[in-house]
Structure 1
């Protein structure tokens, strides 16, 4: 089953780190990604750009309203994700707890919804 591991962290924290701390962080994520690949659990992963590059779109009176930046102001922002394929939620939680993001932010584990073959059954 596929799970999305969403990494939430304070995006300005990276800029406050020393070069050595940043290098350690990059190495930790590289090792984590390699472990997922070795376990053949990794489907995809990406780090996201800062929220000041985000665009929010919603419909107001059936017309798109486009806003710069994220929809809500929060302490932690969505920084990136891993899409994994593992047998069950326990395995997904185990991988999430090993992610470097869990040590400096919050990990959200969410199962990927699969559309039923008969769309009318949904």
Structure 2
């Protein structure tokens, strides 16, 4: 089964880091992704631009409403994701616990709907 691991990071915690600590954290994300790839479970991964580059789109009463930034003002922002193939949820939860985002926010794990 395929699962998505969604990185939700506390942006204020990252902003408070020294440049060296921030660089080390980013390197941990790269190492995490490489480890998933080397183990053969990685199906895909993407990192998102910072949350201040987002535009939220809503349609109400047939009118399109645009808002700069995310829909809600949250302490954590969705920063990226990994799609992995794993035999069971426990295996994926172990991957999620190894993800650097778990130390600076959270990692949401969700099974994907297998189409066709």
Give the conservation status (yes or no) of the 8 Å contact 2:14–2:104: no
1:91: which partner in 2? 91
In structure 2, distance between residues paired with 1:12 and 1:43:
30
In structure 1, distance between residues paired with 2:11 and 2:3:
23
Superposed displacement of residue 23, structure 1: 2.5
Cα-Cα RMSD: 1.4
1:81: which partner in 2? 81
In structure 2, distance between residues paired with 1:28 and 1:35:
10
In structure 2, distance between residues paired with 1:112 and 1:70:
24
What are structure 1's unaligned runs of at least 5 residues? 118-122
Give the conservation status (yes or no) of the 8 Å contact 2:48–2:80: yes
In structure 2, distance between residues paired with 1:77 and 1:19:
20
Superposed displacement of residue 14, structure 1: 2.6
1:17: which partner in 2? 17
Q: Name the structure where strand makes up a greater proportion of residues.
A: 2
Superposed displacement of residue 8, structure 1: 0.8
Give the conservation status (yes or no) of the 8 Å contact 1:56–1:68: yes
In structure 1, distance between residues paired with 2:23 and 2:10:
18
Aligned length, in residue pairs: 116
Runs of 4+ displaced beyond 3 Å: none
Superposed displacement of residue 28, structure 1: 1.3
2:103: which partner in 1? 103
2:40: which partner in 1? 40
SS at match of 2:96: helix
What are structure 2's unaligned runs of at least 5 residues? none
1:120: which partner in 2? none
